[in-house]
Structure 1
């Protein structure tokens, strides 16, 4: 049990998700998930914006097996700041079945970067969602990008669709592979063929180093879970069909900062064939792409 008291409004992860009807192919990767603490062993950062429930590596492995996945990509949770100990612990315990995306500061030593790489880290994440950060990390990210490009690491960027116009030139100046979280959180109340989403598609079309996760319909949907987040499907399917070799999928377990409801992870898995309707697209989305990005070096 954590010595930290979770936020009063915090929603815990689903205790008994449904068994998916969609059977993922053998070797499938959940390419976006997190571990929280446990806080007693891996304390949450003093500067955190939220205090979550505990969500351990063992609980993540249980979900992985239950849903039928073989591997995980664990993304450093913002509640841990740049203290990557919980992430490294999970990666080392996974014995090669997990890779990681860390949070680092520009004063990190080469020796520490080496240690993270040995543990399985292959990328770093930067948050450009204005309500979640005190300042946008332009200068820091550029300096870090110049250091990690030689390691063949990538950068995961999290932003919202309305902010892409002002971020576009900066993102296209970065030298590494970029992985966009959750399709840049499109506004699904607007047309899938409208100008706002067209800019995101242009971003991917004109910059072949840009990948996207087609994840988190529960965060993007306006209609919500009652209709199965169907308003997100056209957006995700377009990204998958246009860029089949540069897309990833993940559960986002344990779903940090969900306010309206807690998604059923089994039902999220059942959305995969709506995003990637053919066996070939599913193979790329769930196996070929994450293995190439995370396990090739």
Structure 2
């Protein structure tokens, strides 16, 4: 099954890296990514900025140029980023801003509402959140009114599932990624999200699985495909194409 990999990281030491709590990840270049997914039918994806990349854009623009058509960026920006910079990044293929509430390195929570609305109005971007689902109830007054929100890694914890599903009801999208990070039943969580909205789940590898208890395995996609059932094609490709405004795929031969 073709995959638009909705969550991957590129760690290239040729570009600035910022220690996060003293941690700097091992290199994982575009070449490393291509080699790791060579056995998968990856037809596009989203390169996501990590806490250790802060507001650097040079690595991301280089990665997008190397990966080519079908790949977009999810970046971190300060709330006072100039309009011209957002539009420059949009032209280069960036499609979303990330706010990392778990690890830091991004704009803080206090700037979330203003930043999310600005980038949406300027360039049609959505906002992606690395957040523990157990914090979603307290964040609901901020998150529910936003134009488009995406939650990473299934919200991480089973105790946050009711609040995650409530957010999906307002139009949020959930990434079925990072299974080595989560404390929940992946298949059950995926099915519950799809029951609320079949368009609300996207799949990804989370490579190179930095700081996860275990790295991504190809069998993670098998588990997700089984859980998604009739919605598998949408979860693996169609939903992400719509979310990231990717061109339709070429016709199958």
Q: TM-score, normalised by structure 1?
A: 0.76
* Equivalent residue, structure 1, for 2:232: 282
Q: How does 1:22-61 map to 2 (within 5 A)?
A: 24-25=1-2, 28-37=3-12, 39=13, 41-45=14-18, 50-61=23-34
Contact 2:208/2:215 (<8 A) preserved: no
Q: Distance in 2 between matches of 1:237 and 1:47?
A: 34
Question: Deviations along 1:61-111, whole A, 9 cap, x unmatched?
Answer: 223332221112110121111102111111112221211100001232222
Which of 34, 37, 40 in structure 2 is aligned with 1:67? 40
Contact 1:212/1:247 (<8 A) preserved: yes
> Structure 1 stretches of 5 or more lacking a match?
1-23, 191-195, 223-230
Which of 244, 253, 256 in structure 1 is aligned with 2:207? 253
Instruction: State whether structure 2 residue 168 is matched by structure 1 residue 204.
Output: yes
What is the Cα-based RMSD across aligned positions, in Å?
A: 2.2
Query: Per-residue deviation at 1:133?
Result: 3.1
> Structure 2 stretches of 5 or more lacking a match?
248-253
- RCO comparison, higher one (Cα < 8 Å, 6+): 1
Which of 54, 63, 73 in structure 2 is aligned with 1:100? 73
Q: TM-score, normalised by structure 2?
A: 0.89
Instruction: State whether structure 2 residue 133 is matched by structure 1 residue 161.
Output: yes
Question: Deviations along 1:187-236, whole A, 9 cap, x unmatched?
Answer: 3xx6xxxxx5223212212x12x1111222211147xxxxxxxx322112
Q: Distance in 1 between matches of 2:62 and 2:223?
A: 31
* Equivalent residue, structure 2, for 1:11: none
Instruction: State whether structure 2 residue 109 is matched by structure 1 residue 145.
Output: no
* Equivalent residue, structure 1, for 2:177: 215
Q: How does 1:174-213 map to 2 (within 5 A)?
A: 174=146, 176-187=147-158, 196-205=160-169, 207-208=170-171, 210-213=172-175
Partner SS, residue 277 of structure 1:
helix
Instruction: State whether structure 2 residue 62 is matched by structure 1 residue 89.
Output: yes
Partner SS, residue 173 of structure 1:
coil
Contact 2:44/2:71 (<8 A) preserved: yes
Contact 1:128/1:157 (<8 A) preserved: yes
Kindly tell me: are residues 117 and 264 of structure 1, through their superposed partners in 2, closer, same or farther at Cα, counting changes over 3 Å? closer
Partner SS, residue 98 of structure 2:
strand
* Equivalent residue, structure 2, for 1:234: 188
* Equivalent residue, structure 2, for 1:4: none
- Considering only CA atoms, is the larger Rg found in Structure 1 or Structure 2? 1
Q: Number of aligned pairs?
A: 246
Query: Per-residue deviation at 1:263?
Result: 2.8
Q: Distance in 2 between matches of 1:134 and 1:153?
A: 20
